[in-house]
């Protein structure tokens, strides 16, 4: 028999307790409850059949005509109707906004109530003494609304609560595993009712494990089952669930119509977190960020309703979602424009063993090239810096001869490569090439990572940056890498988008985008490790004006001071993001330690 329900109570060890099953009551340890034991001090009674099982006090009934007691859990029925209302929203700054809200649930379920029915059809109300009145839990609430869960204590809970970064283990209060939008709505209402912070998890690849909450005790709504990818071959608009992984998205769009969106390299990354906070990859200089292809999102907001966000509906929310999407609700579906997947992808790699002086010269040449119109939009380029060498890697969308002409002015500044390779591939093979592991499931590590976005490095900052690279990083003795992407500049697609069209992503004028990544493959990340990467970033930030640098939330660094992360990640967008947060989530329920704060 499976125990489907549980109720928390404060119990005295050894007291007589009853377990609630599908529809029956029975004493723990009694017939039909093999494996269950008496509760001890209010803790879980036992785990049975992979279901978390707790006990409640024996109910007392006021009925005198009860013959056989069958206590059922009833939940206020929900009427599912769809209405569309337009509600004026007045902000604190007296701006009146108009929000169109699609309401799916018109009746909000109330707390689970316990009633007792009898075989003689006499219906009586059951009550426990006030001291032992079951209070119910978030798990009860989800259960009463038929929201699937990974139950605490089960192997699936352990699996779903595991984040990509093993350095930051967090335990949610509950994990909802919805398969339908109404279940997401119900889960949000339960989280609000039980005053929990609510967090969506899509692919679970946040560097700070923000998809698990970034701290203990959240209601995690796992969107993994919202993973469909459907291309409308007439409009070339794709509808994608937030739980789809980048590898699945790329393959599905290609297979359904040879279409694509721009996105990052790792196939295991969830499209949900990726697109809501940026989404940079080898096509971004040519085709922008993943969020630049988003045209609409359906969002379950704090009152459990579904809001459509697009350029024409709730455009404030749409703006905020494109850069800070984890702070406003649970995105359940997204629509994207797509582009034709290019047939000819020139994939290249030139490897150099530079000394410090050559590295300094090359970095300066890179910056000059990125800021010139010599750098064609079709060229995407990254310095991949490791302990032993630098690889100049990327993709050119076009034919081989135009690629050679485009890159040769830059390569001429770099000296002779130790090795090189250039291949022309189709779109999917080029993605595979940079997946560094085929389109396969994710692997997790214990690591620390940081990012940096800079406009123009001053000569002094460049000196300090390269000196740290050669004098400190090369001798630190750990497995680090650092990437410098040609992100912006006059020919970049990213930089070409201006104003509200670009959403809340605030780094469009950044020439370089850096990622610093340091990991251990066994054991724990060393406590003195953080200073190494922080020191590298400080070489630039300590001598640059604040206006010339920022950080990328998709490479979240949980060690940033709480007073700083908002400005680091969102820069000029942050004040407006806070205003919109106050409209949509004034009580800061969609929270993580680095979420947008309401005003």
Ligand X SMILES: Cc1cc2nc3c(=O)[nH]c(=O)nc-3n(C[C@H](O)[C@H](O)[C@H](O)COP(=O)(O)OP(=O)(O)OC[C@H]3O[C@@H](n4cnc5c(N)ncnc54)[C@H](O)[C@@H]3O)c2cc1C
Binding stretches for ligand X (CB under 6 A): 164, 199-207, 210-211, 223, 242, 264-266, 269-270, 272-274, 276-281, 325-326, 330-331, 554, 592
Q: Which residues contact 576 (CB under 8 A, 6 or more apart)?
A: 319, 320, 504
User: What is the C-alpha to C-alpha distance for residues 578 and 255, in angstroms, rounded to an integer?
Assistant: 40
| 213 contacts 172 by C-beta, under 8 angstroms | yes
| 76 contacts 30 by C-beta, under 8 angstroms | no
Q: Smallest distance from the beta carbon of 340 to ligand X, in angstroms?
A: 22
Q: Smallest distance from the beta carbon of 277 to ligand X, in angstroms?
A: 5
147 vs 461 by CB, closer to ligand X: 147
140 vs 485 by CB, closer to ligand X: 485
Report which secondary-structure segment, H or E, holds 565: helix 565-570
Q: Smallest distance from the beta carbon of 21 to ligand X, in angstroms?
A: 34
Q: Smallest distance from the beta carbon of 447 to ligand X, in angstroms?
A: 9
User: Crossing angle, helix 315-324 and helix 574-584, to 10 degrees?
Assistant: 120
Report which secondary-structure segment, H or E, holds 575: helix 574-584
20 vs 592 by CB, closer to ligand X: 592
99 vs 197 by CB, closer to ligand X: 197
| 271 contacts 289 by C-beta, under 8 angstroms | no
269 vs 494 by CB, closer to ligand X: 269
Q: Which residues contact 514 (CB under 8 A, 6 or more apart)?
A: 451, 452, 453, 454, 482, 483, 484, 485
252 vs 331 by CB, closer to ligand X: 331
39 vs 223 by CB, closer to ligand X: 223
Q: Smallest distance from the beta carbon of 77 to ligand X, in angstroms?
A: 28
Q: Smallest distance from the beta carbon of 10 to ligand X, in angstroms?
A: 33
Q: Smallest distance from the beta carbon of 567 to ligand X, in angstroms?
A: 18
User: What is the C-alpha to C-alpha distance for residues 353 and 417, in angstroms, rounded to an integer?
Assistant: 8
Q: Which residues contact 94 (CB under 8 A, 6 or more apart)?
A: none
Pairs from 244-253 (Cβ < 8 Å, separation ≥ 24): 244/270, 244/271, 245/203, 245/269, 245/270, 245/271, 246/203, 246/270, 246/271, 246/274, 247/431, 247/435, 247/439, 247/440, 248/439, 250/427, 250/428, 250/431, 250/439, 251/428, 251/439, 253/229, 253/338, 253/341
| 512 contacts 552 by C-beta, under 8 angstroms | no
Q: Give residue 466's region: left, alpha or beta (phi > 0; psi -120 to 50).
A: alpha
Q: Smallest distance from the beta carbon of 199 to ligand X, in angstroms?
A: 5
Q: Smallest distance from the beta carbon of 241 to ligand X, in angstroms?
A: 9
| 535 contacts 528 by C-beta, under 8 angstroms | no
User: What is the C-alpha to C-alpha distance for residues 513 and 574, in angstroms, rounded to an integer?
Assistant: 19
Query: Of 340, 258, 339, which Cα lies nearest the Cα of 293?
Result: 339
Q: Smallest distance from the beta carbon of 350 to ligand X, in angstroms?
A: 20
Q: Smallest distance from the beta carbon of 434 to ligand X, in angstroms?
A: 8
| The pair of three-digit structure tokens given for residue 411, joined into one six-digit string | 């390569």
Query: Of 302, 338, 336, 332, which Cα lies nearest the Cα of 242?
Result: 332
512 phi, psi to nearest 5 deg: -110, 145
136 vs 394 by CB, closer to ligand X: 394
309 vs 537 by CB, closer to ligand X: 309
Q: Which residues contact 213 (CB under 8 A, 6 or more apart)?
A: 170, 172, 197, 199, 220, 592
Q: Smallest distance from the beta carbon of 454 to ligand X, in angstroms?
A: 17
5 vs 274 by CB, closer to ligand X: 274
5 vs 245 by CB, closer to ligand X: 245
273 vs 488 by CB, closer to ligand X: 273
């Amino acid at each position: 028999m499976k125990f489907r329900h549980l109720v928390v109570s404060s119990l005295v060890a050894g007291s007589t307790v009853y377990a609630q099953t599908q529809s029956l009551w029975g004493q723990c340890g009694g017939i039909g409850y093999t494996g269950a034991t008496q509760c001890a001090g209010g803790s879980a009674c036992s785990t049975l059949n992979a279901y978390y099982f707790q006990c409640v006090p024996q109910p007392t009934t006021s009925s005198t005509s009860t013959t056989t007691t069958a206590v059922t859990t009833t939940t206020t029925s929900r009427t599912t109707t769809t209405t569309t209302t337009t509600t004026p929203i007045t902000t604190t700054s007296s701006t009146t906004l108009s929000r169109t809200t699609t309401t799916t649930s018109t009746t909000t379920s109330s707390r689970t109530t316990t009633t007792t029915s009898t075989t003689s059809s006499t219906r009586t109300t059951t009550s426990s003494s006030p001291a032992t009145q079951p209070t119910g839990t978030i798990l009860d609430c989800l259960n009463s609304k038929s929201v699937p869960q990974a139950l605490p204590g089960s192997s699936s809970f352990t699996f779903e609560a595991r984040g990509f970064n093993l350095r930051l283990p967090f335990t949610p209060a509950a994990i909802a595993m919805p398969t339908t939008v109404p279940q997401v709505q119900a889960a949000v209402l339960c989280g609000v009712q039980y005053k929990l912070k609510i967090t969506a998890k899509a692919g679970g690849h946040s560097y700070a494990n923000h998809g698990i909450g970034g701290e203990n005790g959240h209601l995690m709504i796992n969107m993994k089952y919202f993973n469909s990818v459907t291309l409308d071959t007439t409009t070339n608009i794709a509808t994608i669930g937030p739980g789809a992984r980048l590898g699945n998205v790329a393959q599905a769009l290609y297979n359904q119509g040879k279409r694509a969106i721009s996105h990052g390299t790792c196939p295991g990354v969830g499209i949900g977190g990726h697109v809501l906070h940026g989404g940079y990859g080898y096509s971004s200089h040519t085709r922008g960020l993943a969020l630049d292809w988003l045209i609409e999102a359906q969002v379950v907001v704090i009152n459990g309703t579904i809001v459509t966000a697009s350029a024409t509906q709730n455009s404030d929310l749409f703006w905020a979602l494109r850069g800070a999407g984890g702070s406003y609700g649970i995105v359940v579906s997204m629509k994207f424009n797509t582009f034709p997947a290019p047939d000819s992808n020139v994939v290249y790699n030139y490897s150099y063993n530079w000394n410090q002086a050559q590295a300094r010269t090359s970095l300066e040449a890179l910056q000059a090239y990125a800021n010139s119109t010599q750098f064609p939009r079709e060229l995407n380029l990254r310095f991949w810096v490791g302990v032993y060498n630098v690889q100049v890697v990327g993709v050119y969308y076009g034919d081989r001869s135009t690629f050679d002409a485009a890159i040769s002015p830059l390569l001429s500044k770099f000296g002779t490569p130790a090795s090189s390779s250039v291949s022309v591939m189709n779109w999917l093979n080029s993605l595979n090439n940079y997946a560094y592991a085929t389109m396969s499931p994710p692997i997790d590590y214990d690591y620390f990572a940081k990012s940096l976005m800079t406009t123009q490095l001053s000569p002094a900052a460049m000196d300090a940056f390269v000196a740290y690279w050669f004098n400190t990083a090369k001798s630190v003795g750990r497995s680090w890498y650092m990437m410098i992407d040609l992100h912006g500049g006059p020919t970049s697609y990213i930089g070409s988008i201006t104003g509200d069209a670009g959403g809340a992503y605030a780094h469009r004028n950044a020439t370089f985008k850096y990622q610093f990544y340091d990991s251990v493959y066994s054991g724990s990340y060393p406590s003195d490790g953080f200073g190494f990467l922080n020191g590298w970033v400080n070489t630039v930030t300590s001598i640059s004006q604040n206006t010339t640098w920022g950080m990328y939330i998709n490479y979240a660094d949980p060690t940033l001071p709480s007073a700083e992360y908002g400005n680091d990640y969102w820069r000029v967008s942050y004040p407006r993001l806070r205003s919109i947060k106050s409209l949509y989530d004034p009580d800061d329920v969609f929270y993580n330690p680095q979420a947008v704060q309401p005003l």
